[in-house]
């Protein structure tokens, strides 16, 4: 921190580090756990918690009416993301939990298990090391709003809540065709999900039948509590229509759990636009700067401004600019670093275009503590770029710009005096395109793990901007999978 300047200037790498390692969210989770657990030794508790904390673990609840497919969805998700599946059967058979013994005793006497006891059994299970390390999927719980609140009081708050929904008529039809594999516990259906393996078909059994009255009672009970559950988890909830093929429901569930929750941490946009000449980078940058009041930084214009202002760095690159040669990377990096570390850029954010052009420049940007948090690649065919640039004309008297195909001069006199910028000649444009393609794959590879996004820039400028804007305001999806 530079104490010689007022207001104090915080180095940009501080914010980059805090955002990259999610310091704010980690601190928030830590304080939440301290308040929930109320440990006798808070310092040691925080040390132990930080050692085992993993922000990548998912905590999912899958609820829905009877026969909506909770078991199938939960089992498949558990296998795909390697999370611990917690079911009613598992928590009741937990021999290490005294609460499970009490619940089994009540069930043996055909007495209902209180909500508080269900919550205590769930707490015993999800607090174990496998759930803390890999995350968990809670199938069929909570069953009502009271259980949901009780789980929250114990610090058990899901990152995603999947609520399956289907008409009662469909659910009652499913119940009649339900079959269970006694060995694996997998659930099948005579009409919708019949196994291909004849051995599995032979050993399937019909579960205990329920009367139509009992079935309606269970559905009515769920419907009474459904709104309370969804309202409790409103910010992390996703309702899925269960009256569709299992594959479609599963695909929607995976898409949902791949989304991140919006962080409450302060966010400073650091945007890089990469694309060939004529792809619309400057247009998108100007729109972003206008909408979000961030600093629009064009590398080419910045270098020319340094030369015009006769700064020390401007004098160093003057010769290269006058001879239309590329300045050395170290000088360009220094010019950009000086601009992007100024107070307006560090507090409001920035959008950079025209840099980096090579992998080395991208590495220099990161090494300077200016790692972007959004990278957009604007993709567009070369022929479209040639059409965009090589047919541009300028009126030397009025300064008005025209395009032979899309915006031709209005009169013959204006058309006669219009001239073409030498940079828009086809051989010059194709030469710049070749330079871009030489390094584009290296840039793609370098930013692959930083949430880079590819955009079809051969569209209306407003459509391109809307897509860029949607990626900017929403958290980037995370990659889930097996360890």
What domain count does the chain have?
Answer: 2
Which DSSP helix (H) or strand (E) runs through 241? Answer: strand 237-241
Find out whether 385 and 429 touch, Cβ atoms under 8 Å: yes
Residues 121 and 82 in one domain: yes
3-state class percentages of the chain: helix first, strand second, coil last, to nearest 5: 55, 15, 35
Phi, psi at residue 84, to the nearest 5°? Answer: -80, 130
Residues 6+ apart with CB under 8 A from 479: 258
Classify each residue of 413-435 as buried b or exposed e, where b means 16 or more C-beta atoms within 10 Å of its C-beta: ebeeebeeeeebeeeebeeebee
Rounded distance between C-alpha atoms, residue 161 and residue 172, angstroms: 24
446 and 327 inside one domain: yes
Residue 158 lies in a domain: yes
Residues 207 and 74 in one domain: yes
Instruction: Identify whether the C-beta of residue 384 lies closer than 8 Å to the C-beta of residue 352.
Output: no
Dist. CA 114–CA 130, nearest whole Å: 26
Structural tokens at position 465: 């901007």
The pLDDT, as a whole number, for residue 456 is 93
> What is the predicted pLDDT for the residue at 6?
56
Q: Report in angstroms the alpha-carbon separations of 6 from 1, 3, 153, 294.
A: 11, 7, 45, 21
Task: Please state the pTM of the whole predicted model.
Answer: 0.69
Helix and strand tally (H, E) in the chain?
23, 14
Q: What is the pLDDT of residues 277-288, one digit of tens each?
A: 999 999 999 999
**378 with 281: CB under 8 angstroms?**
yes
Q: What is the pLDDT of residue 295?
A: 94
Question: Could you say which residues of the chain have pLDDT below 50?
Answer: 1, 481-483
Domain final position from 257, 284, 310: 257
Position 56 scores a pLDDT of 63
- Same domain for 89 and 229, yes or no, is yes
User: What are the helix (H) ranges across 380-460?
Assistant: 382-389, 412-417, 426-446
Domain with 123 in it: what CATH number?
3.40.50.300
pLDDT given at position 483 = 41
State the pLDDT at residue 482: 45
Question: Are residue 85 and residue 233 in the same domain, yes or no?
Answer: yes
**Selection from 250, 463, 279 nearest residue 377 by Cα:** 279
List the Cα angle 120/122/127 in 5-degree steps.
95
Residue 115 has what pLDDT?
Answer: 92
Shared-domain flag, residues 374 and 290: yes
User: 251 and 313: one domain?
Assistant: no
Last residue of a domain, one of 232, 257, 282: 257
Write out the residue range of the structural domain in which residue 368 sits. 270-390+425-473
């Amino acid at each position: 921190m530079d104490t010689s300047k007022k207001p104090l200037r915080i180095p940009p790498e501080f914010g980059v580090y805090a955002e990259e390692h999610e310091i704010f969210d980690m601190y928030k989770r830590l304080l939440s756990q301290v308040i929930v657990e109320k440990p006798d030794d808070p310092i040691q508790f925080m040390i132990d918690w930080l050692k085992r904390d993993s922000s990548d673990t998912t905590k999912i609840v899958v609820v829905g009416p009877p026969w909506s497919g909770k078991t199938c969805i939960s089992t498949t998700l558990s296998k795909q993301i390697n999370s611990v599946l917690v079911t009613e059967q598992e928590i009741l058979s937990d021999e290490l939990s005294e609460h499970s013994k009490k619940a089994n005793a009540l069930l043996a006497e055909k007495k209902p298990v209180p909500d508080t006891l269900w919550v205590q059994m769930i707490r015993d299970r999800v607090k174990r090391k496998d759930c803390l390390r890999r995350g968990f999927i809670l199938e069929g719980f909570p069953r009502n709003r009271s259980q949901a609140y009780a789980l929250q009081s114990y610090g058990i708050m899901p990152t995603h809540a999947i609520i399956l929904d289907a008409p009662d008529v469909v659910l009652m039809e499913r119940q009649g065709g339900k079959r269970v594999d006694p060995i694996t516990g997998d659930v099948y259906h005579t009409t919708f999900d019949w196994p291909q393996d004849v051995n599995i078909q032979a050993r399937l059994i019909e579960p205990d039948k329920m009367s139509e009255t009992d079935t309606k009672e269970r559905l009515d009970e769920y419907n009474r509590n459904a709104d309370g559950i969804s309202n409790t988890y409103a910010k992390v909830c996703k309702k899925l229509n269960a009256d569709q093929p299992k594959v479609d429901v599963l695909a929607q569930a995976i898409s949902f759990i791949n989304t991140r929750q919006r962080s409450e941490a302060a966010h400073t946009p650091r945007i890089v636009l990469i694309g060939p000449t004529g792809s619309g980078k400057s247009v998108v940058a100007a729109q972003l700067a206008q909408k979000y009041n961030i600093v629009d930084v064009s590398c080419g214009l910045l270098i020319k401004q340094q030369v015009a202002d006769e700064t020390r760095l401007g004098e160093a690159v003057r010769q290269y600019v006058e001879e239309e040669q590329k300045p050395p990377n170290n000088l360009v990096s220094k010019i950009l670093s000086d601009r992007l570390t100024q107070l307006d850029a560090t507090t409001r954010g920035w959008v950079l275009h025209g840099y980096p052009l090579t992998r080395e420049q991208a590495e220099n940007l990161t090494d300077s503590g200016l790692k972007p948090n959004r990278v957009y690649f604007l993709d567009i065919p070369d022929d479209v770029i040639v059409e965009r640039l090589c047919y541009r004309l300028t009126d030397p008297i009025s300064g008005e710009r025209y395009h032979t195909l899309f915006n031709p001069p209005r009169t013959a006199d204006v058309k006669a005096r219009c001239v073409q910028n030498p940079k828009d000649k086809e051989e010059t444009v194709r030469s710049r395109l070749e330079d871009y393609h030489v390094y584009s794959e290296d840039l793609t590879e370098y930013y692959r793990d930083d949430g880079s996004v590819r955009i079809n820039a051969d569209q209306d400028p407003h459509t391109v901007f809307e897509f860029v804007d949607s990626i900017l305001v929403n958290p980037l999806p995370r990659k889930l999978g097996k360890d």
